[in-house]
C-alpha cells in the first residue's frame, strides 16, 4: 500500500511546486553569500557621481525595475474622487482630538467604489497647521479605537472573514497611540486597506482597480500589472490629495507609515509620491525593506506563492532565483531620497529578517550622500532601543514581536520632529 502511494505523493508534490520549497533560514551562518546590485551603477555601467545623474538617469532606471518587475505599473487614469464628511466628533481621545469620518467615493462613469477615511486631528495646534501621518489599518478604523462612534469599513461585508466578530471594535487600539500623537501635535489619518483592495487573491473584482480602463476580469494579468500593493499605494496618494485640500494640514509635512505588508506598501507609495516627506516602514520584511538575496526568514518563493496578489505576476519568476534579480530592496529605499526614510525591526521578528531590513537602510545611504545628507553610516546593527537617527535615514530595533508599539510611534515622531522642526 505504502509503495503504491509514495510515487503519487511525490508527483503531487512536484505538480504543486512543493518540491521547490526550502527550509526557512533562521541562522545567520546559513545566509548565502551574495553580491548586491550597486545602487549608483547605471544599467550601462556608468557610475553616478552627483544628484543630477541620479535624478535624470539612474533613479528612472531603478523606478522602472520596481514597476516593471515587482509592484507593477500604477495606471495613469484620472479617477474621480468625491469626499464627504459623514461625521465629526470634537471631543475624542480624552478631549484632545477631533475625529472626522469621511467617505471617499471613487468613480468612473456609473461605476463607484467607496472607502472610509478617519482623521484624528489634535485640538491643540500651536503651529496652526499640523503634520499628518497616514497609516492604513488592517481591520477597520473602528478596530483602532474604542470610540463607539467610529463606523465599520465598507469592505466589512465583502470579506467578513478578515474582520472576525463585530466585537473587534478597539481590538488593535494598543497599536494606535493616538494620544501620544495628539500630545505631540501630529494628526493621524487611517483607512482600512481592504476598502481599497480586499486582501485576498480572489478580490481584484471588489477592489478600486475595477474602475481603471485596463480592468478585464476575464483576461490574464499582464506580467507588469499592478496588484494589491500597487493599488494600496495608489489609495495612499488619493488620501494625500484630499489632505492637501484641508486648511489645517501642513502640506509639506505628510508622512506615510505602514506595518508589515503595509510597510511594504508604505515604501512603494513613498517611492512614487514625493509629497510623502517622511516614509516609515515598520517590520516590513520580505518585499519591503529586507534584502531579498539574504533569503533569511520569508523568501520570494514563499511570499509570491502565499500572497500571489501582492506583487505583479512577473515578480514570481525570481522565486528561488534571488541572485537573478536586477535590483534589491535597498534600491527601493533609495528611491525615496532625498526625502526622509525610517526602517524599524523587532527583536523577535526573524520572519521579517531584521538584519536584512537594517542593511537596506545602510546600502541606500550612498544616494543620500549625493545630496550631502548622512544616513546609516555603519554596517553594524545597533543594539535594542538604540535608534540611529541619520539626517535623513533612521533605523531602530526594539524588543518584542512583530507589532506596532508606543515605542515605535515615539521614535517615528522624534524622527519627524527632526525633519520638520530642526533645532536651529
User: Which sequence positions are flagged as catalytic?
Assistant: 260, 402
| Beta carbon of residue 351, minimum distance to ligand GCU (angstroms, whole number) | 6
Could you count the other beta carbons within 10 Å of the beta carbon of residue 347?
Answer: 13
Alpha-carbon gap, residue 94 to 181, rounded angstroms:
13
Query: What is the rounded radius of gyration, in angstroms, for the C-alpha atoms of the chain?
Result: 21
Bridge-based pairing of strands 388-389 and 340-346 is unpaired
Helix (H) or strand (E) holding 194: none
Residue 177 or 298 with smaller CB distance to ligand GCU = 298
- 185 by DSSP, 3-state: which? coil
Site string for ligand GCU, 80-109 (x = CB under 6 A): ------------------------------
Residue 303 or 334 with smaller CB distance to ligand GCU = 303
Residue 262 or 359 with smaller CB distance to ligand GCU = 262
List the one residue from 145, 260, 266, 365 that touches ligand GCU (CB under 6 A).
260
| Beta carbon of residue 73, minimum distance to ligand GCU (angstroms, whole number) | 22
Alpha-carbon gap, residue 391 to 378, rounded angstroms:
14
Please, what is the Cα angle at 181 between 177 and 185, to 5 degrees? 170
62 is an interface residue for ligand GCU by CB under 6 A: no
Q: Is 406 left (phi over 0), alpha (psi -120 to 50) or beta?
A: alpha
Residue 136 or 395 with smaller CB distance to ligand GCU = 136
The β-bridge partners of 105 are 82, 114
Cis peptide before 338 (omega within 30 of 0): yes
| Beta carbon of residue 177, minimum distance to ligand GCU (angstroms, whole number) | 19
Site for ligand GCU in 339-358 (CB under 6 A): 351
Cis peptide before 48 (omega within 30 of 0): no
| Beta carbon of residue 298, minimum distance to ligand GCU (angstroms, whole number) | 5
Alpha-carbon gap, residue 62 to 102, rounded angstroms:
36
Size of the site for ligand GCU (CB under 6 A): 7
Site for ligand GCU in 216-245 (CB under 6 A): none
Site for ligand GCU in 117-146 (CB under 6 A): none
Residue 162 or 286 with smaller CB distance to ligand GCU = 286
| Beta carbon of residue 402, minimum distance to ligand GCU (angstroms, whole number) | 7
| Beta carbon of residue 324, minimum distance to ligand GCU (angstroms, whole number) | 21
C-alpha closest to that of 207 among 40, 97, 392, 75: 75
| Beta carbon of residue 199, minimum distance to ligand GCU (angstroms, whole number) | 9
- What percent of the residues of the chain are helix, what percent strand, and what percent coil, each to the nearest 5? 40, 20, 40
Helices of type H across 307-353: 329-334
Counting every residue, how long is the chain? 424
Cell of residue 310, nine digits: 501582492
| Beta carbon of residue 286, minimum distance to ligand GCU (angstroms, whole number) | 5
Site for ligand GCU in 261-280 (CB under 6 A): 261
Cell of residue 264, nine digits: 511594504
Alpha-carbon gap, residue 166 to 399, rounded angstroms:
31
Query: What is the side-by-side order of every strand in the sheet holding 276-282?
Result: 80-91, 97-108, 111-122, 187-191, 130-134, 249-259, 276-282, 340-346, 393-398, 388-389
Handedness of CA 35, 41, 47, 50 (dihedral sign): negative
Residue 298 or 322 with smaller CB distance to ligand GCU = 298
The phi, psi pair for 19, rounded to 5°, reads -60, -20
Residue 261 or 339 with smaller CB distance to ligand GCU = 261
- 422 by DSSP, 3-state: which? coil
Site for ligand GCU in 281-320 (CB under 6 A): 285-286, 298, 303
Residue 334 or 352 with smaller CB distance to ligand GCU = 352
Kindly list the residues in this chain that would bind ligand GCU in the complex (CB under 6 A). Answer: 260-261, 285-286, 298, 303, 351
Amino acid at each position: 500500500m505504502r509503495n503504491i502511494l509514495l510515487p503519487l505523493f511525490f508527483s503531487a508534490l512536484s505538480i504543486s511546486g512543493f518540491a521547490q520549497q526550502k527550509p526557512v533560514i533562521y541562522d545567520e551562518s546559513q545566509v548565502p553569500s551574495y553580491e548586491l546590485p550597486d545602487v549608483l551603477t547605471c544599467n550601462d555601467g556608468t557610475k553616478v557621481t552627483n544628484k543630477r545623474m541620479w535624478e535624470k538617469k539612474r533613479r528612472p532606471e531603478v523606478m522602472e525595475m520596481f514597476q516593471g518587475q515587482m509592484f507593477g505599473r500604477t495606471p495613469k487614469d484620472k479617477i474621480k474622487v468625491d469626499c464627504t464628511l459623514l461625521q465629526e466628533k470634537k471631543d475624542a481621545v480624552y478631549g484632545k482630538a477631533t475625529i472626522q469620518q469621511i467617505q471617499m467615493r471613487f468613480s468612473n462613469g456609473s461605476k463607484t467604489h467607496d472607502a472610509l477615511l478617519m482623521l484624528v486631528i489634535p485640538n491643540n495646534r500651536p503651529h496652526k497647521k499640523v503634520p499628518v501621518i497616514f497609516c492604513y489599518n488592517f481591520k477597520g478604523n473602528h478596530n483602532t479605537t474604542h470610540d463607539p462612534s467610529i463606523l465599520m469599513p465598507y469592505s466589512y461585508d465583502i470579506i467578513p472573514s478578515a474582520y472576525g466578530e463585530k466585537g473587534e471594535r478597539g481590538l488593535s487600539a494598543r497599536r494606535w497611540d493616538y494620544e501620544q500623537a495628539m500630545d505631540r501635535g501630529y494628526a493621524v489619518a487611517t483607512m482600512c486597506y481592504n476598502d481599497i483592495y480586499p486582501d485576498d487573491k480572489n478580490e481584484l473584482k471588489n477592489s478600486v482597480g475595477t474602475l481603471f480602463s485596463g480592468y478585464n476580469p476575464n483576461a490574464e494579468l499582464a506580467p507588469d500589472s499592478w496588484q494589491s500593493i500597487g493599488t494600496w499605494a495608489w489609495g495612499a496618494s488619493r488620501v494625500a490629495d484630499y489632505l492637501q485640500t484641508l486648511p489645517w494640514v501642513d502640506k509639506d509635512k505628510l508622512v506615510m507609515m505602514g506595518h508589515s505588508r503595509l510597510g511594504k506598501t508604505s515604501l512603494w507609495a513613498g517611492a512614487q509620491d514625493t509629497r510623502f516627506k517622511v516614509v516609515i516602514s515598520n517590520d516590513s520584511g520580505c518585499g519591503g525593506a529586507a534584502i531579498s538575496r539574504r533569503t533569511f526568514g520569508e523568501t520570494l518563493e514563499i511570499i509570491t506563492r502565499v500572497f500571489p496578489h501582492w506583487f505583479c505576476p512577473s515578480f514570481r519568476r525570481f522565486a528561488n532565483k534571488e541572485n537573478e534579480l536586477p535590483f534589491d530592496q535597498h534600491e527601493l529605499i533609495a528611491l525615496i531620497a532625498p526625502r526622509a526614510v525610517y526602517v524599524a525591526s523587532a527583536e523577535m521578528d526573524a520572519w521579517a529578517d531584521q538584519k536584512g531590513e537594517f542593511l537596506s537602510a545602510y546600502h541606500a545611504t550612498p544616494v543620500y550622500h549625493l545630496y550631502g545628507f548622512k544616513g546609516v553610516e555603519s554596517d553594524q546593527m545597533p543594539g535594542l532601543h538604540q535608534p540611529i537617527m541619520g539626517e535623513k535615514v533612521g533605523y531602530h530595533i526594539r524588543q518584542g514581536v512583530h507589532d506596532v508599539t508606543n515605542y515605535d510611534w515615539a521614535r517615528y515622531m522624534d524622527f519627524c520632529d527632526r525633519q520638520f522642526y530642526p533645532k536651529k
